[in-house]
């Protein structure tokens, strides 16, 4: 039997044709938050780059995602846009930017497109966001959905807990997924749900699913740049796989530089600029005379 990912290929290519968005199945998605990380991720062949509101913590040191503003997000979206030439760029709508009114939401989403150069926006929530999502799509802006453990709802959820663990919660999640599918989202991020539920959703909806802490049966996967590189200063969640230790690399590099400066090993002559020969020839006798007078 086909896996959910491979059976979604045909639908995904239909989506390509309709939206002009490249969304191949089972490829990597990653988050990036500035020019250099955006560029590295893009050049490594990642096909969707999400500027996620988790930058509130990873880049700005906030406690959670609730504090980050649209203007702060926009600043990062613009930087990532300058680094990303090939991948699809999705910008995350922060808390408060789509909760007041649909007009507000469309205006804010349009800023991401107009000022930030994003190709799509992401909105958290399922059934209750469906009409709002239709309004944004009506404004010619593709929308990515996001259900399951939605961090902007942390206070309503009573903490960051895996969602969809009992039958009622599973039914709720299925309704959310179907509502997003019908609203016409470009993809659905599934965060922090049991793999069995993610597999059911992936089979049920025609929209590609992208998992983060949702098991291997989603159509694609996304991870936070800082998580895979050990740049978060905290214990990683169960689903995070570390592919590098940038914290150790950075610490080692900075400590080595400091030690080299203190011991006068840096900079060397080879790392210095030199006067042109003629200037040096004219300057040397002048310095000689100066030294002689001091003696």
Closest by alpha carbon to 122, among 50, 69, 65?
Answer: 50
Residue 223 C-beta: closest distance to ligand KIV, Å: 7
User: Quick one: 133 or 261, whose CB is closer to ligand KIV?
Assistant: 133
- Give, rounded to a whole angstrom, the gap between the first and last alpha carbons of the chain: 92
In the complex with ligand KIV, the residue whose CB is nearer, 57 or 174, is 57
Interface with ligand KIV, residue 191, by CB under 6 A: yes
Distances (CA, A) of 84 to 13, 40, 89: 22, 8, 8
Contact 189, 210 (CB under 8 A): yes
Closest of 266, 146, 134 to residue 218, by C-alpha:
146
Query: 8 or 29: whose CB is closer to ligand KIV?
Result: 29
209 binds ligand KIV (CB under 6 A): no
Task: Decide: is 120 part of the binding site for ligand KIV (CB under 6 A).
Answer: no
Out of 8, 76, 111, 146, name the contact with ligand KIV by CB under 6 A. Answer: 146
Q: Is 92 in the site for ligand KIV (CB under 6 A)?
A: yes
Residue 237's closest CA among 212, 257, 211?
212
Active site residue 196: no
Return the H-helix or E-strand segment holding 91: strand 88-92
Nearer to ligand KIV, 92 or 119 (CB): 92
User: Smallest distance, Å, CB 17 to ligand KIV?
Assistant: 26
Contact pick of 222, 225, 226, 230 for ligand KIV (by CB under 6 A):
222
- Please identify which of the residues 43, 191, 196, 271 carries the catalytic annotation: 191
Which residues on neighbouring strands pair with residue 223, listed in sequence order? Answer: 30
Name which of 80 and 224 has its Cβ closer to ligand KIV.
224
Rounded to a whole number of angstroms, the minimum distance from the CB of residue 212 to ligand KIV is 5
Least distance from ligand KIV to the Cβ atom of residue 57, Å: 9
Taking the complex as a whole, the smallest distance from the CB of residue 22 to ligand KIV amounts, in Å, to 19
Judge whether 66 and 154 are in contact, CB under 8 Å. Answer: yes
For 25, 61, 104, 132, the CA distances from 101, given in Å and listed in that order, are 34, 29, 5, 9
Q: Which is nearer to ligand KIV, 95 or 189 (CB)?
A: 189
Which x/- pattern, by CB under 6 A, does the window 29-58 give for ligand KIV?
Answer: --x------------------x-xxx----
Closest CA to 164 of 210, 215, 97: 215
Contacts with 193 (C-beta within 8 Å, 6 or more apart), sequence order? 148, 149, 162, 163, 164, 173, 213, 214
Bridge partners, residue 222, by sequence: 29
For position 219 contacting ligand KIV by CB under 6 A, the verdict is no
Among 23, 49, 212, 214, binds ligand KIV (CB under 6 A): 212
Q: Determine, following the binding rule CB under 6 A, whether residue 189 of this chain makes contact with ligand KIV.
A: yes
DSSP sequence for 263-284: TT-SS-GGGS----HHHHHHHH
Residues that bind ligand KIV (CB under 6 A): 31, 50, 52-54, 92, 146, 189, 191, 212, 222, 224
Active site residues: 191
């Amino acid at each position: 039997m086909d896996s959910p990912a491979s059976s979604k290929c045909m639908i995904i290519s239909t989506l390509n044709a309709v939206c002009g968005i490249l969304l191949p199945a089972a490829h990597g998605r990653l988050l990036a938050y500035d020019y250099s990380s955006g560029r590295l991720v893009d050049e490594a062949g990642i096909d969707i780059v999400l500027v996620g509101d988790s930058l509130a913590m990873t880049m700005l040191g906030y406690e959670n995602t609730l504090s980050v503003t649209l203007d702060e997000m926009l600043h990062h979206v613009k930087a990532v846009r300058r680094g990303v030439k090939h991948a699809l760029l999705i910008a995350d709508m922060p808390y408060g930017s789509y909760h007041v009114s649909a007009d507000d939401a469309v205006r804010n989403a349009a800023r991401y497109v107009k000022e930030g150069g994003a190709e799509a926006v992401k909105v958290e929530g399922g059934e209750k966001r469906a009409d709002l999502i239709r309004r944004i799509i009506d404004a010619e802006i593709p929308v990515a959905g996001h259900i399951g453990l939605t961090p902007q709802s942390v206070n309503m959820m009573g903490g960051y807990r895996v969602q969809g663990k009992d039958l009622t919660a599973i039914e709720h999640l299925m309704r959310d997924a179907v509502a997003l599918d019908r609203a016409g989202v470009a993809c659905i991020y599934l965060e922090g749900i049991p793999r069995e539920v993610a597999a059911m959703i992936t089979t049920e909806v025609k929209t590609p699913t992208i998992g983060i802490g949702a098991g291997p049966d989603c159509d694609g996967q996304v991870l936070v740049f800082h998580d895979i590189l050990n740049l978060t200063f905290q214990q990683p969640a169960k689903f995070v796989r570390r592919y590098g230790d940038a914290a150790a690399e950075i610490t080692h590099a900075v400590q080595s530089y400091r030690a080299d400066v203190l011991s006068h090993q840096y900079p060397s002559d080879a790392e210095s600029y030199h006067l042109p020969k003629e200037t040096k020839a004219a300057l040397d006798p002048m310095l000689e005379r100066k030294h002689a007078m001091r003696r």
